[in-house]
Amino acid sequence: MKFLAITVMVITTLALTSPVASQAEPGDEEEAAAGHTTATTDGRRPSGPCALRGIDDTVSEAADTPPGFTRSYGTVRALTLFVDFPDARAEDSPEERYDEFFPAVADYYRTSSYGRLDYRSTPVRRWIHMSRPYEAYGIERGTPFDPGSDEEGYHALSKEIVKAVDDTVDFRRFDLINVLVTPNAGPPATEDVQSVTFAGSPTGLGTKDGVPFKNVSFIWSRQTGDSPYRVLNHENAHSFGLPDLYYTRGGSGLLRTPVGHWDPMDEDWGPSNDFLAWHKWKLGWLAPDQVNCLATPGTRTLTLTPTSVTGGTKLAVVPLSRTRALTLEARAPGPLDHMVCRPGVLITTVATDVASGAGPVRTSDATPGSAGCYTTDLNVNARLSDATYVTGQRQSGSGVTVKVLGRDTGGNWRVTVRRAPRIPRPPVTDPASDDDPD
């Protein structure tokens, strides 16, 4: 998506004309990734001195995702619903709308997680008709979920959803909820992006099954590019605890994308792109031996395997403080990374004390001033498309120097990382004490 209320609550919206029983309700067969195999079940959260902590319980780049969000490894079950309005009746069947996203969303997660996330969606294959016209709900970019509003906004929509399906859906079975709105409701996404997720916190709305209605993504309109389904990967990632990387301040337009097309939490339009290695670690998709934590002074040489292939070291982390770290990873073209035009080592700075939508991750640009190497798609921040460091280049700052030594025949990158010892600060003395006669 391109906007998100994080720390927020979540809910979905639908209304019922008559709750006609569907063969998909309540127990339609789960749809897993195509050719699904459970490669591994050893997903785990990060730990150790490089696992930066957050400063509060809101969503952030902290390694320890707060309670309330959805587990992001193992088997995760999604309930997928379909919505239209009296003035915007669906022009496609539920199956056609569903096929825009599945099995592609599940396949994406399976590939990106190296098999550690088994995403299974259960669709309720009918359009649930809202009781009022689209405009009556006052939905626009940035509309909050307000539990005190029964007439407008996502709370009003969500009450109708629950009423529509609560008798036939067992919400206890699901970890998150997708609401796919008919694409002809509201403005086209090229004019105003309204897709949104309310994740983490309770919404105040319950179900007959005794579970809260939360971790819900609403998908409006259609996006463009070779993989428009990724808007749902972006939105669901909020339910997994990932923040927005792009700047959300200043109205409806995208302002700046400080990470660029190196992660769908910054740019999820245009050509396909994979998650940052830091995010893969945060989500539990990397085994401990795939992460190098460089927490002490010294010089180390390591080999990074591109994130687009399985196995090998995926991430090196150099903690700079309790809330900041430098991260290194290798990027190359792959099944999910379609825009990598300059394979190399991507260096980013992660800040857990910077809020979602305020640039919590920044890419270090190895070619400042360059127009970039991927310049054919306006959905790609072209100037950062060649941000990767290649053989002979180095980056220095905050007492850390990184030098790229080269790439082997297997596409793996060797780098040296030198971390200087911290110079202790001299004790601060009170100048007045020199004049103290005692």
- Locate 120 and state its tokens: 């299974």
Which three-class secondary structure state does DSSP give residue 137?
Answer: helix
Q: Of all residues in the chain, what percent are helix, strand and coil, respectively (each to 5)?
A: 15, 25, 60
2 — pLDDT class (breaks 50, 70, 90): very low
* pTM, to two decimals: 0.88
Instruction: Give residue 58's pLDDT.
Output: 87
The rounded distance, in Å, linking the Cα atoms of 366 and 369 is 10
Is residue 101's pLDDT more than 90? yes
Q: Report the chain's terminal Cα–Cα distance, integer Å.
A: 67
256 — pLDDT class (breaks 50, 70, 90): confident
Number of other CB atoms surrounding residue 303 within 10 Å: 17
Give the distance between the most distant pair of CA atoms in the chain. 91
Question: Which helix H or strand E contains 392, and what residues bound it?
Answer: none
Task: Give start and end residues of each alpha helix (H) in 131-185.
Answer: 153-165
124-138, 146-160, 314-328, 329-343: lowest mean pLDDT where?
A: 146-160
Instruction: Give residue 37's pLDDT.
Output: 42
Q: Which of 382, 309, 298 is nearest to 339 (CA)?
A: 382
Strand arrangement of the beta sheet that strand 5-9 belongs to: 5-9, 196-201, 216-219, 176-181, 74-84, 117-129
Q: Which of 180, 59, 57, 71 is nearest to 128 (CA)?
A: 180
> pLDDT tens-digit profile of 294-316?
999 999 999 999 999 999 999 99
Instruction: Give residue 424's pLDDT.
Output: 66
Q: What percent of the chain has pLDDT over 90?
A: 78
Average of pLDDT values for 2-31?
Answer: 38
Number of other CB atoms surrounding residue 246 within 10 Å: 23
